[in-house]
Every structure is written in C-alpha cells, then in structure tokens.
Amino acid sequence: MTTLDVKADFPILEPDAERRRIIYLDSAASSQKPRQVLDAVRRFYEVSNSNVHRGAYDLAVRATKLYEEARCKVTEFVGGYDSRGVIFTRGTTEAINLVANSWGRDNVRAGDTVVITALDHHSNIVPWQMLAKQQGAAVRMVEVTEDGRLDLEDLRAALKLRPKIVALNYVSNALGTINPLPEIIPLIHEAGAVVLVDGAQSAPHIATSVSDLDIDFYAFSGHKMLGPMGIGALVARPELLDEMNPYQGGGEMIQEVGDEQSTYADIPAKFEAGTPNVAGAVGLGAAIDYLNDIGMDAIHEHETGILHLALERLSDIPGLKVFGPDEERAGVLSFALDDIHPHDLATVLDQEGVAIRAGHHCTQPLMRRLGVQSTARASFYVYNDESDVEVLACGLEKAKEIFSYAA
C-alpha cells in the first residue's frame, strides 16, 4: 500500500537508551529531520560558518555562496518567478506579517476589504485583522461547507466587494482540505485583487509552481518540510516586492544611510534586515534536495495511500468521527472519539508512544464552525507507514476501552 521506505534516515524515530520508540504523527506541526539535513547544518558550522554578504575572506565567500545557493533551490522547488523574489524569513508567520505590514500598509486603505477564509490558520487571520484595524478596512471571512471545503459560492460573493487582497491557504492544517487554487486564483485576479497563499501545509506535500498558479505572494516554513526550525520564505512577484517598502530596518537592507534618511538595497536584500539564519537556509536547501530525490509526486502518492489506509482502519472503531472532506485532502486526519476529550486521547496515545496533536490547531474560527472546541489530529509524512496506522488504531481502541470503564 505505501511506497516509501525512508524511516531509517530519521535518527529520532529510532528507539534510544534515553527514550522509547516514537510513532510520530504530528508532522503538520513540525516534521522530523533526516540525517542529510542534520549533516548539512553541522557541516556548515564546521567548515563554512561566517556572516554573509559582508566579508571578503574565504569563509565569508563560502557562507554567502551556500546561502545564495539555498535561495536558488527554493526558487526552483516552488516554481518562483526568479530568485530575487525569494525572501528568507523565520517561517510562514513572518512571511505573512511581512506582506501585511509592507504591501498592506501601502495598499489597503480606509473602506477597503481584505478577504480571508474560515479554513485559515491564525497566522493568516490575525495579521490581516491587525492591518484592517490600523487602516480602517474591513475583514470578510469566506465560509466553509459542512464537510470542511471552502464555500466557493461565498468566495464569489466576497469577491463582489472588490477586495484588495485575498489571503487563503492551499492546504488546511486542521482538516487537510486542498483548496482548488487553479480554479480560485483566476477569479481572484479577475476581481482585481492580489492573492497571498499560505503554503505552510502545501510546500512539504504537494508539487507547487507559484508562477504557473499565478500566485502573488506564497509563504512557507522550512521546519514542516524536513528542514530546520526558524527558516522559511516569502516567494513573491519581484515587481511587487520592488514597489514595496521594507518593514524592518537594519544592516544589509540599505543602499546609503544618511543622518536623517536612508535609501534601500534592491530585493531580496531590502527585506532581509540583519544577520539571516544562514545555517537554516543551508539546512532548508538540503531538505529540498532530499524531497527532490524522493520526488514530490511520490510523496503525495505515499501520503494519500497512508491517509486512505487510516480512514479505512479507523472506520472500524465505533464512535470515531472524522472531520473534513472525503476527497481532495492531504495527509491530515482530524477526529473525535465518542465524547472523550481530545487531550485525553492524546495522553493515552502518548503512553503507547504515539505523538498526535490535540487542540484547536490555531484555527478557532474553523473549530467554531465545526461546532467543537478542539479535535485530535494525526498527520502523516514520508517516514510514516502501515505499522504506524495500526499502532494509532490500537491506541484509540485502548482509549475507548479505558474511558468506557470510567463512564
């Protein structure tokens, strides 16, 4: 059923003298890292560590070359417009805040509308609410259908308001719903709006071409796609970035600093004030190499296989309810079991060595629409296999038994 066999590349999944075996089913929160990425980061610090774009000595040249190579890898991996349009950030959250604070402050005015969706993560909701409050603009949240898909009729209605920007995710972190971007993006552009896509849950799982999809701003995080924490990117149309003002000032983003005013560097430097996370970028580059070696289509096929296997196996458990659509979903499985609190489920599963997430998944508007406070969520990635699904299912059966005694 499943097609990849890469578990051995992930040291953390091996039992250790200090720690039990882990069945890791929380990759939507953060993925584990293969040896290849860990080695690349270690090697950077051992043989190339230096600041970038500043020194003329050999180490500085090596570090700068590696950092810029990573930018090229990102550009190619997500089908960006060109490498000038790739800004390294701490992750998705920072990339979205960059757009809201820079493009947003110059383009969203009093009386304008910003469209977001009820499927979005707080990272793609709160920055827009903050911007709207600052500028006197309105936020319009597009609804979801009962099975957890974006309500396209409501999106069309929202577009009639002629919003300045539509910000939405490609894949929902709480339900796994894959938004039909090829259908949606032309509608957004026809309405005269710019589109920002939160790619936190798509970049790790779905082959994406930002330029083919005609996306204006695409944000993602390296730590969810086998890379290190604290690195991610904003991938954007270079001509939009050229027009935008920087939102952070500091070293390396300037052309000339006068006593009272300064001029700014060209992109991408204009948006990378201060010392960047060079080791993180190098690790992200190694993660991209690793993903490319497997192939994004093979990854998607593998995850879809595991998801369907899990849906089938979990349907054997009476009282288990799965949230989200039947089709067009990534390897994320949100569920409830009887009336057992999701945190209790997570605790019982932890005793079996299974790591899942329980909570609102930073999607409170979505939880309200689902009529729940929280869900239990298992999410799958390259290193998961059939045996992990079986351990999850047995753990849930055990939880059911424990709580039926308690009732």
Query: DSSP assignment of 204-269, as one string?
Result: TTS---TTTTT-SEEEEEGGGTTS-TT-EEEEE-HHHHHHSPPSS--TTSEEEE-SS-EEEPPTTG
Closer residue to ligand C6P in complex, CB, 83/169: 169
Q: How many residues bind ligand C6P (CB under 6 A)?
A: 17
Q: Which of 135, 169, 208, 334 binds ligand C6P (CB under 6 A)?
A: 169
For residue 39, give the nearest of 296, 381, 285, 291 by alpha carbon: 285
| Binding-site string for ligand C6P from residue 287 to residue 326, where x marks contact by CB under 6 A and - marks none | ----------------------------------------
Cβ nearer to ligand C6P, comparing 79 with 359:
359
Best CA proximity match to 168, nearest among 153, 188, 138: 188
- The two tokens of residue 213 are 């999809």
Compute the least distance from the CB of residue 219 to ligand C6P, in Å: 8
267-297 burial, b at 16+ Cβ within 10 Å, e below that, comes to: bbbbbbbeebbbbbbbbbbbbbebbeeeebe
Looking at the DSSP bridge assignments, the partners of residue 236 are 217
Cβ burial of 263 (10 Å; 0-12, 13-18, 19+) is exposed
Select 63 or 349, whichever has its Cβ closest to ligand C6P: 349
Known catalytic residue at 362: yes
The CB-of-131 to ligand C6P minimum distance in angstroms stands at: 17
Shortest Å distance, C-beta 27 to ligand C6P: 9
CB of 126 to ligand C6P, least distance (A): 11
Least Å from the CB of residue 36 to ligand C6P: 21
Instruction: Determine which one of 362, 366, 376, 393 is catalytic.
Output: 362
28 makes contact with ligand C6P (CB under 6 A): yes
Site for ligand C6P in 220-279 (CB under 6 A): 221
Query: Cβ closer to ligand C6P: 48 or 202?
Result: 202
With CB under 6 A as the contact rule, the residue among 131, 132, 291, 362 that binds ligand C6P is 362
Q: What is the DSSP letter of 25?
A: -
Q: Write the CA distances from 73 to 55, 208, 217, 233, integer angstroms.
A: 23, 14, 18, 12
Q: How far apart are CA 28 and CA 66, in angstroms?
A: 28
Q: Which residues contact 183 (CB under 8 A, 6 or more apart)?
A: 152
SS3 117: strand
Does 375 bind ligand C6P (CB under 6 A)? Our answer is no
CB of 144 to ligand C6P, least distance (A): 14
Which of 6-14, 153-161, 258-266, 356-364 is the region at the interface with ligand C6P (rule: CB under 6 A)?
A: 356-364
Interatomic CA distance for residues 243 and 241, integer angstroms: 5
Instruction: Tell me the Cα Rg of the chain.
Output: 22
Minimum distance from CB of 120 to ligand C6P (Å)? 7
Which residue reads 């001509």 in tokens? 239
Name beta bridge partners: 196.
Answer: 167, 217
Site string for ligand C6P, 202-231 (x = CB under 6 A): -------------------x----------
> Is residue 31 a contact point for ligand C6P (CB under 6 A)?
no
141: β partners: 116
Binding mask 68-107 for ligand C6P (x = CB under 6 A): -----------------------xxx--------------
Two tokens, residue 292: 């490319």
Supply the residues annotated as catalytic: 362
Which residues lie near ligand C6P (CB under 6 A)? 28-29, 91-93, 121, 123-124, 169, 173, 198, 200-201, 221, 357, 361-362
